[in-house]
Amino acid sequence: MTTEAKIYHAGTLTYTTRTLAILFFWLLWGDFCFVLMETVVPSLMPLKFKELGAPNTFMGLVLGTVPGIINSFCNPVISFKSDRYRSRWGRRIPFILFTLPFLVMCLFALGFGTHIGYWAREHFSGVLGRFEPNTVAIAVMGTAMALFSFFNTFVNSVFWYLFNDVVPEHLLARFMSWFRMVSLSAGAIYNLLIFKHAATHAAEILMGVGVLYFVGFGAMCLSVKEGEYPPPPPNIDGKSGPLAAIKTYVEECMGNTHYWWLFLANMGMVTAYSSGMFTIFFQQSMGLTFEMIGNLAFAGSIAGAVSIPISGWLADRFHPIRIVITGLALQALMAPVGLMWLFWQPSPQVVFSVMLGLSLCLYSPIGALIAVMDPPLFMRIFPRERFGQFCSANSLCRSMGSMVGGVLVGLFLDWVTRRWGADVAYRVLPIWSFTWITLVVFAMTRLYRSWQRHGGDDAYVPPLAAPREPAAEPAGKL
């Protein structure tokens, strides 16, 4: 006796249980490669710039502000075009595949930026001779970092929308929980096994992750197939061209204060978290070794991976907006705890034990609550038919927060360093986090009230400007 195979649908795509499992494997494998690459770059680049003597303000500019500027200009265009792009390869994957080799070359350039800078200084001494070798190396790596940010914007803009197109809708929440667990596991593996070699083998790490990304992420792109899409949605006034597209984007995404509260909240969160690039220097000032720092990050990732399914269940049960607000409020309350290191300077082993306990019991579970904002909350707040477009508008606002935060936190730390020293500067970072997270809580509570006015739990309908018909020709006109 045979039983009928279960069939799953996502748009025009049809899956059996076996083919759906294959799809999930490739998407999760691609996520592993992508997250590993995205984890390596921000963890190594502050160390390489610091080694060359770059000031905090420059690091904030190159690692925060410049990527934010690039994302601000590129992400809306890429997302808007991707929503409306049609090809035999789909509307998402072509944007990823085209930029893949260029992004890998940038990773290699970041890995060997110091050698390239020294070589250029020696062989072009007529032009570069008045600069110090480290200055040339910093310029080379800064340029490579800007190019990396440009090509990575294509992937960061489109990869997340692919899930909405190829995964059956009723399985999206389940898939995203696995997705988060794989992401955290990739970070955990890196921090446990690789990060402790960051000081001595940064070039090899960047080259290795570049090869893995090229082969692994490329294989995912070639293995995942997109379905057929309906004709692109019309612009808001029925016209075509760049000006009509910009008008449509602005009116639909930015013309309603309901969405602005979510955009402002994300902007504030990025500004608050812009201090994260300096966390490693704080940990080093407390006497922690690279191995200790890596073990802390590993433990935090594992705790987050365990907490994510719980926060996901809570979000399904009570709605993501309530869980996010709860997590943000708890994070604001916990931020001042970090100021204890201003008055207490125990041995590195005690510091490690205290930080480990705080990470496992408080910071990671709280972070898991906040993590249901992206994408579970976005999926419940943004119009589904314009999901990529609204996500790009949110990303645009996040980029603004990154631009502002990257520079301001660098200026803040340099100012404190001049007055009280670098060790003190890194220990007052909780003041920065507390200030911005408190503002984020305010914005999220306003979003919550607006969400209730638009229907709340039982009848929420995302507000969206309706397309307008072109103006009719005047009567009697030939």
Residue 102 pLDDT greater than 90, yes or no: yes
Band (pLDDT 50/70/90 cuts) for residue 395 is confident
Listed residues 232, 247, 267: the one ending a domain: 232
pLDDT given at position 249: 87
- Could you report the per-residue pLDDT of 233-248, keeping only the tens digit for each? 777 777 777 888 888 8
* pLDDT of residue 143 exceeding 60: yes
470 lies in a domain? no
Q: Is residue 340 part of a domain?
A: yes
pLDDT, position 372: 85
Question: Do residues 315 and 367 share a domain?
Answer: yes
The rounded percent of the chain whose pLDDT value lies above 90 is 44
Q: What is the pLDDT of residues 283-298, one digit of tens each?
A: 998 999 988 998 998 8
Could you report the per-residue pLDDT of 222-278, keeping only the tens digit for each?
999 998 888 887 777 777 778 888 888 888 888 889 999 999 999 999 999 988 888
464 within domain boundaries: no
Do 199 and 296 share a domain, yes or no? no
Last residue within a domain, chosen from 212, 232, 252: 232
Domain CATH for 367: 1.20.1250.20
Predicted pLDDT of residue 389:
85
pLDDT tops 90 at residue 302: no
Give residue 471's pLDDT band: very low, low, confident or very high (50, 70, 90). very low
pLDDT of residue 466: 55
Q: Are residues 3 and 99 in the same domain?
A: yes
Report, in angstroms and rounded to the nearest whole number, the Rg of the chain calculated over CA atoms.
Answer: 24
Residue 407: its pLDDT value, please? 85
On whether residue 394 sits in a domain, the answer given is yes
- For residues 59 and 104, state if they share a domain: yes
Would you state the pLDDT for residue 3?
46
| 241 and 177 inside one domain | no
Is 10 in the same domain as 101?
A: yes
In a domain, residue 9? The reply is yes
Range of the domain at 41: 1-232
| Same domain membership, residue 292 and residue 253 | yes
* 393 and 378 fall within a common domain: yes
Q: Which of 198, 216, 232 is the last residue of a domain?
A: 232
- Does position 164 have pLDDT exceeding 90, yes or no? no
Residues 354, 433 share a domain: yes
What digits encode the pLDDT tens for the residues 55-94?
888 888 888 888 878 888 888 889 888 888 888 888 889 9
- Within this chain, do residues 296 and 383 fall inside the same structural domain, yes or no? yes
- Asked whether residue 423 carries a pLDDT value surpassing 80, the answer given is no
Q: Please count the structural domains in the chain.
A: 2
Query: Is 70 exceeded by the pLDDT of residue 347?
Result: yes
Whether residues 14 and 66 share a domain: the answer is yes
- Residue 466 lies inside a defined structural domain of this protein: no
Question: 184 and 387 in contact (C-beta within 8 Å)?
Answer: no
Q: Is 83 in contact with 386 (CB distance < 8 Å)?
A: yes
139 and 245 share one domain = no
* Domain assignment of residue 474, yes or no: no
> Which pLDDT band, with edges at 50, 70 and 90, does 173 fall under?
low
What confidence score (pLDDT) does residue 42 get? 87
pLDDT for the residue 478: 36
pLDDT over 70 for what percent of the chain?
A: 96
pLDDT of res. 425: 87
Task: Decide if pLDDT at 394 tops 50.
Answer: yes
Is the pLDDT assigned to residue 104 strictly greater than 90? yes
Residue 246 included in any domain: yes
- Poorest-confidence range of 21-35, 202-216, 317-331, 373-387? 373-387
pLDDT at 375: 76
